[in-house]
Amino acid sequence: MGDVLSQSEVESLLAALDPGAQQHFSEPSRQSSSAGQPQVSVYDFKRPERVSKEQMRAFQALHEGFSREFGASLSGMLRAIVEVKLISVDQLTYSEFVFSLENPTCFNLLESQGLEGHVILDINPSIIYPIIDRLLGGGKESNHDLPSRPLTEIELQIVSRITRLAIAGLESAWSNVCDLRLKVLQVESNPQLVQIVPPNEVIVLISFELTMGDTRGIMNLCIPYNTIEPLSARLSSDNWSTYTRKVADPRQRLNLERGVAQAKVGVVVRLASTRLTASEVADLEVGDVITTSTRADGGIDLLVEGRPMFRGHPGLLNGHKAISLEDQIIAPNDLIEQELKRRGIPSVQV
């Protein structure tokens, strides 16, 4: 797809043509590198790199999980071992992607409500026809004569089962980033008839290799850059996995509630409090009386883990010292919330 040869590849080609050319070509390179001159890299303005390398690594990590899940689902449906392997993640123009596909092919146009755009899922005929043959009871022969025609209506209905498996896998893999909510808009055999973005628009092409026995084929996932641009901040290899939507498990919640309910807490009864100077404490003797600001009939506080929770009065119960709880102490913040609720003013969560 118009890849630019690297320096080592150019030297290898020149060495294969003329053994003496490698020495002539590599000598200036060593001189330039030793001189500390900046290296010049080729940049093609027809193929701007709008997706960063960090985001490309995130795409790779994202769809490696999809390949495993889709391979397991496809193997279960076909009752055969199907290996799905991620082979490349590239960025190129939409025209380069379309002209690289076979014609006819299985070209699925998907609409994503979560990304507010379109996604293309292309399945190569070299693997789609053997899968159809397997679903229809064939698949005993490894050599298949692939027909050079579009899919029939019956074959399209069979392929829709494969597409639904791929959509379920993609939605599961992307659930950490966004809710894709994909659905098939149309299925075409000629990829040049579908124009979802301008020809020079940059797209992210994710290619998978499907292997079923001796049969191999390519499945391509095309995502336009303008579709994923709003999520560019989330698509990084460092933090894309942090956007996880966790659903509370009822079993875990019950276990947590039971564990917290059985936890032991410290309960302290505060009879009174006062302040003394160091000299007053040093002069204390047996029989001295310490005065406090708490009235004898004013009640005492019951503290749970250092926080005042109840007020009560001391007493005896069956010969044991006891506290009779009377009122619950409401924290100032709770009082403010109650007053706001009474006045009908919504509270602001900070």
**pLDDT tens by residue, 63-74:** 998 999 999 999
**Per the domain annotation, does 258 fall within a domain?**
no
**Per the domain annotation, does 117 fall within a domain?**
yes
Tell whether 34 and 67 lie within a shared domain. no
Model confidence pLDDT, tens digit, residues 95-121: 999 999 988 999 999 998 888 789 999
Tell whether 182 and 212 lie within a shared domain. yes
Tell whether 2 and 124 lie within a shared domain. no
Tell whether 101 and 125 lie within a shared domain. yes
The mean pLDDT of 197-204, rounded to a whole number, is 89
Model confidence pLDDT, tens digit, residues 15-25: 666 554 444 44
Tell whether 67 and 210 lie within a shared domain. yes
Q: Which of 141-145, 176-180, 216-220, 337-341 has the highest mean pLDDT?
A: 216-220
Tell whether 325 and 216 lie within a shared domain. no
Whether the pLDDT of residue 246 is over 50: the answer is yes
Tell whether 34 and 112 lie within a shared domain. no
Q: Which of 6-20, 127-141, 201-215 has the highest mean pLDDT?
A: 201-215
The mean pLDDT of 151-160, rounded to a whole number, is 91
* SS3 readout for 143-172: CCCCCCCCCCHHHHHHHHHHHHHHHHHHHH
Tell whether 86 and 185 lie within a shared domain. yes
With contact defined as beta carbons under 8 Å apart, do 104 and 191 qualify? no
Tell whether 161 and 195 lie within a shared domain. yes
CA gap 40, 219 in Å, rounded? 35
Count of domains for the chain: 3
Tell whether 18 and 60 lie within a shared domain. no
Find the domain containing 170 and state its range. Answer: 53-242
Task: Determine the distance from the C-alpha atom of residue 94 to the mean position of all C-alpha atoms in its chain, rounded to a whole number.
Answer: 26
**Per the domain annotation, does 251 fall within a domain?**
no
Tell whether 57 and 12 lie within a shared domain. no
CA gap 337, 325 in Å, rounded? 24
| Residue whose structure tokens are 């639904």 | 164
Of residues 339 and 72, more confidently modeled: 72
CATH number of the domain to which 74 belongs: 3.40.1550.10
Q: According to the model, what pLDDT value does residue 341 have?
A: 78
Tell whether 37 and 130 lie within a shared domain. no
Q: Residue 122's pLDDT band (boundaries 50, 70, 90)?
A: very high
**Per the domain annotation, does 81 fall within a domain?**
yes
With contact defined as beta carbons under 8 Å apart, do 82 and 208 qualify? no
The mean pLDDT of 167-182, rounded to a whole number, is 88
Q: According to the model, what pLDDT value does residue 166 have?
A: 93
Retrieve residue 281's tokens.
């404490």
Whether the pLDDT of residue 349 is over 50: the answer is no
